[in-house]
């Protein structure tokens, strides 16, 4: 190469390397961060000591736990992902919450709803009125 041309190359690369490195760093800087979802059911009530009754389906194990002094709760252990996208829970026709997609979840049941056995639980998909699951508890 001619010395003059060589000098041109040198200057181009000295300036170019700074610009390219800055640009590279900026492009990495603006990379979209992976979306982190906060879990809808982060706080899980501690389990009450006694299991009063258990119902099973292919997807779920449902325990009615509690004792007369502390209160009563429903415990859901999800064994397989639920077929329905949203699962609303109704205890004795009263809405008690929405079941999340995985793990173990517990919902408190107020004393007034425990007046007289047998009790029944319905799992409802609000988008489709079909596919209602029903469980009976008789402690």
Partner 1 sequence: MSVNYTTVQWNRQKRRYDRIMGGIIALYLLTFTLLQLAFYPLISPETLIIRATGTLAFIMLQFILCIGPMARLDHRFLPLLYNRRHLGVTTFLIGAVHGIFNIIQFHSLGYVDPIFSVFASNTHYGSLQDFPFQVLGFFALLILFLMAATSHDFWLKNLSPRWWKSLHMLVYLAYGLLVFHVMLGAIQLEQSPMWIGFVGFGLFTLISLHLMAAGVEKKRLQEQMDKAAVGEGFYQVCSAEDIPENRAKMVYLEGQNIAVFRYDGKVSAVNNICRHQHGPIGEGKIVDGCITCPWHGYQYLPQNGQSPPPFTEKLETYDVKIVDGMVWVNPTPYPEGTERPAAIIQA
Number of residues lying near partner 1 (CB under 8 A): 25
Q: Which is nearer to partner 1, 9 or 102 (CB)?
A: 9
Distance separating alpha carbons of residues 108 and 106, to the nearest angstrom: 7
Q: Does 22 bind partner 1 (CB under 8 A)?
A: no
Q: Does 6 bind partner 1 (CB under 8 A)?
A: yes
**What Rg, from alpha-carbon coordinates, does the chain have?**
30
Residue pointed to by tokens 């004792």? 67
Q: Which is nearer to partner 1, 24 or 95 (CB)?
A: 24
Tell which residue, 71, 48, 74, 45, has the closest CA to residue 137. 74
Supply 128's token pair.
């489709």
Task: Give the residue, chosen from 22, 23, 101, 131, that forms a contact with partner 1 under the rule CB under 8 A.
Answer: 23
3-class secondary structure, 22: helix
Tally helices (H) and strands (E) across the chain: 1, 8
Task: Give the residue, chosen from 22, 26, 52, 91, that forms a contact with partner 1 under the rule CB under 8 A.
Answer: 26
User: Is the distance from CB of 92 to CB of 120 less than 8 angstroms?
Assistant: yes
Region binding partner 1 by CB under 8 A among candidate stretches 18-26, 75-83, 96-104, 120-128: 18-26
Q: Does 35 bind partner 1 (CB under 8 A)?
A: no
Binding footprint of partner 1 on the chain (CB under 8 A): 1-3, 5-6, 8-10, 12-14, 16-17, 19-21, 23-24, 26-28, 30-32, 34
């Amino acid at each position: 190469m001619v010395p003059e041309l060589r000098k041109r190359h040198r200057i181009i690369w000295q300036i170019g390397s700074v610009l390219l490195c800055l640009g590279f760093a900026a492009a990495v800087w603006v990379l979209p961060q992976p979306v982190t979802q906060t879990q809808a059911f982060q706080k899980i009530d501690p389990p009450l000591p006694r299991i009063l009754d258990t119902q099973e389906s292919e997807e779920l194990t449902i325990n009615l736990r509690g004792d007369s002094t502390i209160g009563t709760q429903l415990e859901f252990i999800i064994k397989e992902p639920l077929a329905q996208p949203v699962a609303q829970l109704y205890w004795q026709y009263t809405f008690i919450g929405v079941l999340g997609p995985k793990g173990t979840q517990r919902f408190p049941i107020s004393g007034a709803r425990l007046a007289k056995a047998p009790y029944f639980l319905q799992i409802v998909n609000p988008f489709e009125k079909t596919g209602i699951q029903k469980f009976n508890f008789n402690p």
